[in-house]
Structure 1
Amino acid sequence: MAARHPAQLMAGIHALDALIGQAAEQPEHTYTFLFCDLLTDAVLAELPLQDVSYGYELNGIGAMRAFVPLNNETFPLDPINATTGGRTAVYVDRDGSILWGGIVWTRDPAKGGMQIQAAEFLSYYQHRYITQTLSTLLENVTANPALVPDGRRLYSDQKSLLWSLFRWSSIAAGGGIRIDINPLAGTGHGVSRVATYFGYERQELFALMKQLASADDGFDFGIEVGWNPVVNNVPPSRFRKAVSWYPRRGRAAADSGLVFSKGGPAANIVAYNWPEDYTAVADQVWAVGDGDGEARLIAGAADLDMLAAGWPLLESVQRYEGVTELATLQGHANADVNARSVADVAPWFDVLADGDPALGGYSVGDEATFTISDDPRFPDGLEAQLRIVSMDVNASKRPEIVRLTCVGV
């Protein structure tokens, strides 16, 4: 490797000094952790947690991990009953704003306490299944043709269809976990879908929601949490809102103005990695829907440009239970081949939570400009516009660090 010019070395040293200076100036934040009953949202306890991290995923389920000390300070708070898995909600409040909410699912004994792990509220729908046939087609629900929730017929607009799945899940005893679905009501996305979910197939609700969102011309979705406004001296309460974004969540790089840099005077990237995975690349995708034997519904899509450019034939098969319409299945195939025609490049960047931009100024779905300089892998530097698809906040580390995982735009 060629020797580095002294000017390059000095620039790197100055950038490092600036980053260290930023880290030293990071403010302290006040975190509060509320544990509540999942069904009623009644507060069970406010517990002091240690080694806390929490995260978000675009159209996915972010996790929270923490250590609960068991000692004379926490015993009066009844931490065992306040952290029971599967029926307890937990909220992460940072400086008076709820940034994360989810459900406790696991506890593991550890020296001096226990480790807990929670997942965002969408994880509840990984534990719910379609037990009655639901369909947008009237002929499939003739026994009860009324629209959900009175009947089994689903609204056809994809946004309304998502509302229908949430609404149907809340009908059963114990099935309502206080998710406000009003943001999904009203004007739809203008994209109609044909879908039938047969009760005998016992399909997972979250998987169906994700499948719906990932179709060609789909959408992004999630559950937002926060504090309701305090009025008339009523004790503060929290909200859980199901929301969708069409055609996508977040801002384009030109609109967000977000810039994260490694090297240079405005450096705010502490560490990064840029892995590449070609194992899922495909230039021919087969989408398989419902049906038996030779009558099974199949749609295909190919990336002819890749084949013409000299790529070998690389195939992938994706299965979509409950899809009975060829047009819907073709939409899935088109979306899949577009997603798989490039390598899985998901670089991550550790950035200062209180740098510029600061935590709260960006979210999953946003695009940002990432610049890398003074790195042997990119001798001429690198500037790329990437979309943030997951965020993980290390709340216990000083300075506070946010890991951003991204994909190409």
Structure 2
Amino acid sequence: MAFYRYQFCDLVTDRPIADLDLTGVSFDRRICQPGTFSGSVAVTGPETAERVARVVGRSDGDLGRGPGRTVVHVWRGDQIWGTYLIWSAEPKSDNRGRVTVDLSGASLESYLYHRQIRTDLTLAGADQRWLARELVRRMEEPRPIGLVPVTPGEPPDPEIPEESGHVDVAAAEPRSITYRASDAVSFGEALEDLSSRVDGPEWMVRTVVRAGERVREFVVQDQMGQDRTDHVFTQPGNVVAWSYPADASGAATSWRARGDAPDAAPEEEAEPVLSRTWSDPRFEGAGWPLMDRTVDVPGVTSPAALDEHARWWAARSSGSVRFPQVTVRLADRTTLTPDRLGDKARLTLVNDWFPLVRGSPSFSRSWRVIGIEVTPATRGQGEDTATLIFEEPPDTEPGAEEP
């Protein structure tokens, strides 16, 4: 059984505060968005109460501790599987007088959504990965939390933006971004905007140990992970449960993106800027009905940028959307860790729904793992389990229609 340690530290300084024995723990990590954390600690006496109070505080006037300024490093063996900012804590007692404290939070990516771009910002004609790193560098001012922007295999802080090989399809040149202070856009929203365009970069925050020191890295790549399939999950075998839902409740086959209205004279009423209409040609050939969706993209007035958003949605979410999930047992020395998100994993299922066909599995596919939710072993459950969220890639590039 893998050993877990929950180390609580100050968000800004990373100074250790206390280690707590938690129960009912669940935590997850995802690409390009925050993951969640939850757990509880039983207060069994004054010493335990004091240790917990150093983490969560006891009153409103206790400004030196508590939610909003405390993180927990989740150690699995000698690796940190995630760093989570504690956003809420609830001490409570049951009818027998037993006191527990429930903790919940989100991974360090959530902090990016709590910092706003407070001055007008334009970054023009730069590589997409450099744009993401520059947003984080600016967010770190004036009170840093120690995020180090890096792209694996490249210098962490180049003086000149490097080329990633990606060219803006609509503009045939490196990308540019503009945000006004009046838009009150958070840095997390700006990064989300950058990554939700066609061929937009992927990013995540990870805490690694280098030379005995914890380092918080903001990692950005054109695509996280590797294509080589090292992680294999099978049923029968290490697969505990699976689901393969198809959801058409938000289905569309025709997509537009709607931005903000351009600046205009006070007496004029400007209309929001719209992208062209984009569709996935696979669905036209399959006889799908026409279903329209318009996606709002606040703060964007560039038709080319809006086209990228509409193309991204047409490629990712046309028709009935499928997001396969599987729950697996994790070995003590598992090859798949939260820092390996983006890797491909092979899933092979043999059951009544996916039977053998001529002696071979009818379901055996490799997908990118874009999310992982871990449930550590407990007394009632002797093995760690993880729910994997896969990405099913689109087969074709969406086509444009004239407005």
TM over 0.5: yes
Letter in 1 for 2:145: I
Correspondence for 2:260: 290
The TM-score normalised by the length of structure 1 is: 0.80
User: Which of 268, 273, 277 lines up with 2:247 in the alignment?
Assistant: 277
User: Which of 226, 245, 250 lines up with 1:251 in the alignment?
Assistant: 226
User: Which of 233, 238, 243 lines up with 2:214 in the alignment?
Assistant: 238
The TM-score normalised by the length of structure 2 is: 0.81
CA deviation after TM superposition for structure 1 residue 352, in Å: 0.9
CA distance in 1, matches of 2:239, 2:52: 37
Secondary structure of the residue that 1:260 maps to in structure 2?
strand
CA distance in 2, matches of 1:170, 1:304: 43
Which whole-Å deviations, capped at 9, do the CAs of 1:299-349 have from their partners, x for residues lacking one? 121223422431111111111222232222211111111112242211211
Correspondence for 1:16: none
The answer to whether 1:222 aligns with 2:204 is: yes
Correspondence for 1:128: 115
CA deviation after TM superposition for structure 1 residue 90, in Å: 0.8
Aligned CA-pair RMSD: 2.3
CA distance in 2, matches of 1:350, 1:75: 34
The answer to whether 1:169 aligns with 2:139 is: yes
CA deviation after TM superposition for structure 1 residue 38, in Å: 0.7
Conserved 8 A contact 2:229-2:346: no
Secondary structure of the residue that 2:136 maps to in structure 1?
helix
Conserved 8 A contact 2:230-2:335: no
Correspondence for 1:365: 342
CA distance in 1, matches of 2:388, 2:6: 23
Correspondence for 1:406: 390
User: Which of 381, 387, 402 lines up with 2:368 in the alignment?
Assistant: 387
Give structure 1 stretches of 5+ with no counterpart. 1-27, 138-154, 231-236
CA deviation after TM superposition for structure 1 residue 377, in Å: 5.7
Task: State how 1:7-406 maps to structure 2 within 5 Å.
Answer: 28-72=1-45, 74-75=47-48, 78-83=51-56, 84-111=66-93, 112-136=99-123, 156-172=126-142, 175-183=143-151, 185-186=157-158, 187-191=162-166, 192-230=174-212, 237-246=213-222, 248-252=223-227, 255-263=228-236, 267-291=237-261, 295-299=271-275, 300-354=277-331, 358-360=335-337, 363-376=340-353, 378=355, 380=357, 381-397=362-378, 398-406=382-390
Conserved 8 A contact 1:66-1:115: yes
Q: Are the structure 2 counterparts of residues 47 and 342 from structure 1 closer, same or farther at C-alpha, using a change threshold of 3 Å?
A: same
Which whole-Å deviations, capped at 9, do the CAs of 1:332-388 have from their partners, x for residues lacking one? 111111112242211211111118955439832122221111224657432222221
Correspondence for 1:22: none
Q: Are the structure 2 counterparts of residues 133 and 362 from structure 1 closer, same or farther at C-alpha, using a change threshold of 3 Å?
A: closer
Secondary structure of the residue that 1:181 maps to in structure 2?
strand
Task: Return 369-378 or 183-192, whichever deviates more.
Answer: 183-192
CA deviation after TM superposition for structure 1 residue 79, in Å: 1.0
Which whole-Å deviations, capped at 9, do the CAs of 1:153-195 have from their partners, x for residues lacking one? xx732212112211222223xx311111255533342442122
CA distance in 2, matches of 1:49, 1:304: 51
Letter in 2 for 1:97: Q
CA distance in 1, matches of 2:163, 2:349: 41
Q: Which 4+ stretches in 1 moved above 4 angstroms?
A: 292-295, 355-359, 377-380
Q: Are the structure 2 counterparts of residues 85 and 355 from structure 1 closer, same or farther at C-alpha, using a change threshold of 3 Å?
A: closer
Q: Are the structure 2 counterparts of residues 216 and 359 from structure 1 closer, same or farther at C-alpha, using a change threshold of 3 Å?
A: closer
Structure number having the greater helix percentage: 1
Letter in 1 for 2:157: A
Which whole-Å deviations, capped at 9, do the CAs of 1:118-142 have from their partners, x for residues lacking one? 21101011111111110135xxxxx
CA distance in 1, matches of 2:204, 2:25: 22
CA distance in 2, matches of 1:177, 1:62: 18
CA distance in 2, matches of 1:208, 1:400: 35
CA deviation after TM superposition for structure 1 residue 92, in Å: 0.8
Which whole-Å deviations, capped at 9, do the CAs of 1:54-109 have from their partners, x for residues lacking one? 21112111111111121227536521231311000110111121111120011123
CA distance in 2, matches of 1:330, 1:52: 42
Secondary structure of the residue that 1:209 maps to in structure 2?
helix
Letter in 1 for 2:371: S
Give structure 2 stretches of 5+ with no counterpart. 57-65, 94-98, 167-173, 263-268, 394-403
Conserved 8 A contact 1:364-1:388: yes
CA distance in 2, matches of 1:203, 1:361: 28
Structure number having the greater strand percentage: 2
Q: How many residues align?
A: 351
CA distance in 2, matches of 1:195, 1:215: 12
CA distance in 2, matches of 1:67, 1:226: 25
Indicate the percent of aligned positions where both proteins have the same amino acid. Answer: 24
Conserved 8 A contact 2:203-2:218: yes
CA deviation after TM superposition for structure 1 residue 400, in Å: 1.1
Conserved 8 A contact 1:385-1:408: no
Conserved 8 A contact 1:196-1:324: no
CA deviation after TM superposition for structure 1 residue 117, in Å: 0.8
CA distance in 2, matches of 1:333, 1:385: 27
Secondary structure of the residue that 2:147 maps to in structure 1?
coil
Q: Are the structure 2 counterparts of residues 339 and 74 from structure 1 closer, same or farther at C-alpha, using a change threshold of 3 Å?
A: farther
